[in-house]
């Protein structure tokens, strides 16, 4: 069992992904030092309230209503009103893994000890995770500043014993589930509601999960490219280290090296000198026609330059997100050392939205790359002797000739998925809106960007699945005996789930099977290169 430390400083992206996805043995540890920091912050809050000074969101109204100061006796009730009036989310419910990630990140941010909340707030967030009690959180309604107010209100509401939760496959009142588990709802005091909702944790949850899946997808794209290179009788010399060392972007180097390892031993995708040597010499003639092109089309030749951009984008995105999930992202913040309260704007998710807008473009570009490779595979004008649409070969005037269309429909579906991914790749950052009586007059739109990034990753996983299915079909037609050992292992794994397409049939189930292999990590594991991180 691996412990995940909840101290506002040590949480990793892999921790978030592991807690979010069930089936992992994990312990959630809130160290004494972090608990003491939370208590000091809360004690300072109570001391400052007692002075009668206005404290934003504690003894004043919210946002533009900051000019309305209230008596300290009203401070706790104000927090319930804050949560209640934001319960206006719409759209689909956030997936269970996103809700788990949100609970974890919010607990960790509050554990940093600057937010002034009761320790019980963090304790119940962790209890929800331990028992897998998941608030039902609509995806839509947040502009990403002042934090993810609307979605996080559904979390706060559940902690207060209100609303509904998902528990053991049932939708139940939060109060009933808490009572069954012997857990006590939070009785909010001043700042508790604001501390729960005035942060970036919902956006960050989507972002972390999208980024972890995108990191996997960068390597899957290399596998798909290697299969296509063999199926199309490509030139693996395009991935030679000398080329990429002359333009040494780290991600490009890593992708090219990965492709080299995947294709090592292939008799289909040949080194450059063997490709050249397979052609007849001119022997004094003024002109000749090469039997085998010495250069592949860009979607093969430049694959490391596309997947490499995704790898490098993920590298800096990871750093930004790790900072975000270990930050105090609410307002105001209490400095127990100086005894002061500070009003600021750490709820503004500018780094999250910029990271996700960049990730969206990089992932969508990979979808486009794989879609172009698929087009080469199915089009007899470009696939180097394979059949039209990868239909089984038929001899003479056999009855089956002309009846089947193989992967024609799959290519259309792949094109649609790619177009949808590209459509959602536009930046959300530039759509900032002035809201809430021009108090929130510049907002981040981070949750929209993060949700779009996750959608693009899912679409690209489906694009990759179709391309891999087509490449495996092509390799069956070409002959798998000359494949590289690593790519042959991938082909064999796919064939344990999906048979060769020997006649027209529905293939939606085939796509789902390969998507599952991608998401589970089994496809990468089959290559023997899963452990490589770059």
Task: Report, as residue numbers or ranges, the catalytic residues.
Answer: 56
Q: What number of helices (H) and strands (E) belong to the chain?
A: 20, 9
C-alpha distance from residue 294 to each of 272, 297, 484 (Å):
7, 10, 20
For residue 182, report the phi and psi dihedrals to the nearest 5 degrees.
70, 25
* 8 Å CB contact between 335 and 411: no
CA–CA dist 188, 174 (Å, integer) = 16
CA–CA dist 531, 459 (Å, integer) = 25
CB burial of residue 530 (10 Å; 0-12, 13-18, 19+): middle
Q: Across the strands, what pairs with 170?
A: 167
Residues 6+ apart with CB under 8 A from 295: 235, 238, 301
Name the nearest CA neighbour of 147 among 194, 211, 99, 206: 194
Name the nearest CA neighbour of 45 among 113, 105, 108: 113
Quote the Cα angle for 272-236-276, to 5°. 20
Cα 400 to chain centroid, rounded: 44
Phi-psi region of 93 (alpha: psi -120 to 50; beta: other; left: phi over 0): beta
CA–CA dist 379, 406 (Å, integer) = 11
> First CA to last CA across the chain, in angstroms?
26
The alpha-carbon radius of gyration of the chain (Å, integer) is 27
CA–CA dist 70, 110 (Å, integer) = 25
CA–CA dist 494, 214 (Å, integer) = 21
């Amino acid at each position: 069992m691996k412990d995940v430390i909840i101290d506002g400083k040590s949480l990793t992206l892999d921790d978030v992904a592991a807690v979010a996805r069930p089936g992992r043995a994990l312990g959630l540890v809130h160290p004494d030092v972090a608990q003491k920091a939370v208590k000091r912050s809360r004690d300072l809050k109570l001391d400052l309230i007692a002075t009668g000074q206005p404290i934003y969101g504690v003894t004043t109204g919210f946002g533009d209503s900051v000019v309305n100061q209230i008596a300290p006796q009203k401070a706790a009730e104000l927090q319930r009103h804050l949560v209640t009036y934001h319960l206006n989310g719409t759209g689909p419910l956030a997936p269970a893994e996103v809700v788990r990630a949100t609970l974890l990140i919010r607990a960790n941010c509050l554990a940093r000890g600057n937010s002034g909340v009761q320790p019980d707030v963090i304790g119940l967030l962790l209890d929800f995770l331990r028992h897998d009690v998941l608030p039902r959180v609509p995806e839509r309604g947040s502009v990403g500043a002042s934090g993810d107010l609307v979605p996080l209100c559904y979390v706060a509401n559940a902690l207060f014993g209100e609303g509904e939760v998902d528990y053991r496959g049932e939708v139940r009142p939060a109060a009933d589930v808490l009572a069954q588990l012997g857990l006590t709802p939070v009785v909010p005091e001043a700042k508790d509601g604001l501390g729960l909702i005035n942060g970036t944790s919902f956006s960050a949850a989507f972002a972390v999960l999208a980024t972890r899946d995108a990191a996997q997808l960068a390597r899957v794209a290399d596998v798909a490219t290697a299969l296509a290179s063999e199926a199309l009788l490509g030139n693996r010399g395009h991935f030679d280290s000398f080329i990429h060392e002359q333009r040494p972007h780290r991600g490009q180097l890593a992708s090219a090296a990965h492709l080299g390892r995947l294709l090592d031993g292939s008799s289909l995708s040949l080194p450059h000198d063997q490709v050249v040597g397979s052609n007849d010499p001119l022997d004094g003639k003024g002109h000749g026609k090469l039997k085998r092109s010495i250069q592949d089309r860009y979607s093969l030749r430049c694959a490391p330059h596309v997947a490499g951009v995704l790898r490098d984008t993920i590298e800096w995105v990871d750093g930004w997100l790790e900072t975000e999930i270990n930050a105090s992202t609410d307002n105001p913040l209490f400095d127990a050392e100086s005894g002061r309260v500070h009003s600021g704007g750490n709820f503004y998710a500018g780094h999250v939205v910029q990271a996700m807008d960049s990730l969206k473009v990089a992932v969508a570009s990979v979808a486009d790359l794989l879609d172009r490779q698929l087009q080469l595979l199915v089009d007899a004008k470009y696939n180097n002797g394979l059949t039209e649409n990868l239909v089984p070969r038929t001899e003479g005037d056999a009855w089956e000739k002309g009846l089947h269309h193989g992967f024609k429909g799959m290519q259309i579906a792949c094109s649609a998925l790619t177009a949808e991914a590209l459509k959602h790749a536009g930046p959300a950052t530039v759509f900032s809106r002035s809201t809430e009586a021009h108090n929130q007059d510049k907002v981040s739109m981070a949750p929209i960007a993060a949700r779009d990034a996750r959608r693009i990753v899912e679409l690209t996983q489906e694009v990759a699945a179709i391309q891999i299915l087509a490449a495996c079909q092509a390799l069956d037609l070409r002959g798998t005996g000359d494949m590289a050992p690593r790519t042959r292992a991938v082909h064999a794994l796919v064939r344990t789930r999906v048979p060769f397409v020997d006649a027209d049939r529905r293939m939606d189930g085939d796509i789902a099977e390969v998507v599952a292999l991608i998401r589970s990590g089994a496809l990468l594991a089959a290559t023997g290169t899963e452990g490589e991180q770059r």
